[in-house]
């Protein structure tokens, strides 16, 4: 059973150092004279498996640890306790604007992320497919991404992420800001990716989307998995609870 598991979490606990005293400089530290860091557990004893080709939805309230869970999968956050096994490549996290350098232009960002994924920077086909999919014009892509609206950022990040043919696609709340046309385009693309047998982790506050797309789902609350099972049941539960 463990062989076909693409993502395997075993008793994972993730804790952040939380600096809730407002001590952000040596000056503050000297006047404050206490250790300003408290350890805050974000995820507590999380265990689950995602099989190849499975599409899992992650539901939960704001601050329940969804993004931290995705970061742990992406390897950006290391667990304090427990182990994470990933057998495959992961596309960048699709939070709005994450991974983009705001000072660089759209084109430079595309090149940067392509090269970080071990592809040639000047891969013309890849750049063109990203550009076509995002629907952003040449002029827009030549301006620094700090001038982009959140919808434009979402378009760019989504396009870059699906262009890397990784085994695991992580989608974190991006679709909320795009316009109708782009949302449909994205959903179509997600279904296409799913048909190709890739694994998708889908975070959304819309249980309807999760129900349509996902096979299984987990419900996070306060850093623990409270419920786990088929997508429809979990979505109904989510709507009932919150």
Confirm or reject binding of residue 219 to other proteins (CB under 8 A).
no
Confirm or reject binding of residue 176 to other proteins (CB under 8 A).
no
Indicate which single residue of 63, 75, 197, 229 sits in contact with other proteins (rule: CB under 8 A): 75
Confirm or reject binding of residue 144 to other proteins (CB under 8 A).
no
Instruction: Pick the closest to residue 209 from 55, 49, 54 (CA basis).
Output: 55
Check: CB of residue 184 under 8 Å from CB of residue 192: no
To the nearest whole angstrom, how small is the minimum distance from the Cβ of residue 157 to other proteins?
Answer: 9
DSSP state, 99? Answer: T
Confirm or reject binding of residue 132 to other proteins (CB under 8 A).
no
218 DSSP β-pair partners: 58, 228
**Spatial separation of the C-alpha atoms in residues 51 and 147, rounded to whole Å:** 40
To the nearest whole angstrom, how small is the minimum distance from the Cβ of residue 77 to other proteins?
Answer: 6
* All residues at 6 or more sequence positions from 127 whose CB lies less than 8 Å from its CB, including other chains: 107, 110, 111, 114
Confirm or reject binding of residue 93 to other proteins (CB under 8 A).
yes
- Give 5 or 29: the residue with its C-beta nearer to other proteins: 29
Stretch that binds other proteins, among 15-23, 123-131, 135-143, 200-208 (CB under 8 A): 15-23
Which strand ranges, in their side-by-side order, compose the sheet holding 5-19? 37-51, 5-19, 81-86
Query: 80 — phi, psi (to 5°)?
Result: -80, -40
Stretch that binds other proteins, among 67-75, 119-127, 179-187, 200-208 (CB under 8 A): 67-75
Size, binding site for other proteins by CB under 8 A: 28
| 44-57 per-residue burial string, b: 16 or more CB within 10 A, e: under 16 | bebebbbbbbbbbb
Indicate which single residue of 2, 22, 27, 240 sits in contact with other proteins (rule: CB under 8 A): 27
- Give 84 or 176: the residue with its C-beta nearer to other proteins: 84
The binding site for other proteins (CB under 8 A) comprises: 16-19, 23-29, 71, 74-78, 90, 92-93, 95, 97-102, 116
């Amino acid at each position: 059973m463990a062989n076909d598991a693409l993502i395997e979490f075993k008793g994972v606990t993730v804790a952040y150092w939380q600096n809730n005293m407002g001590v952000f400089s040596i000056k503050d530290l000297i006047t404050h004279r206490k250790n300003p860091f408290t350890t805050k557990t974000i995820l507590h004893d999380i265990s689950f498996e995602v099989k190849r080709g499975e599409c899992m939805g992650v539901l939960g309230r704001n601050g329940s640890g969804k993004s931290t869970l995705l970061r742990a999968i992406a390897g950006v956050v290391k667990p304090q306790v427990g182990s994470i096994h990933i057998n495959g490549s992961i596309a960048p996290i699709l939070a709005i604007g994450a991974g983009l350098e705001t000072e660089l232009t759209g084109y430079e960002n595309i090149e940067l992320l392509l090269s970080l994924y071990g592809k040639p920077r000047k891969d013309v086909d890849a750049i063109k497919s990203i550009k076509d999919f995002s629907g952003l014009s040449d002029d827009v892509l030549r301006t620094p991404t700090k001038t982009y609206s959140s919808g434009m950022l979402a378009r760019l990040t989504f396009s870059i992420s699906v262009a890397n043919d990784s085994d695991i696609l992580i989608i974190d709340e991006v679709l909320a800001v795009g316009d109708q046309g782009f949302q449909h385009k994205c959903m179509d693309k997600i279904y296409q990716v799913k048909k190709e047998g890739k694994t998708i982790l889908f975070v959304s506050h819309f249980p309807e989307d999760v129900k349509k797309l996902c096979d299984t789902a987990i419900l996070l609350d306060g850093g623990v998995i409270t419920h786990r099972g088929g997508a429809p049941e979990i979505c109904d539960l989510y709507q009932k609870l919150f």
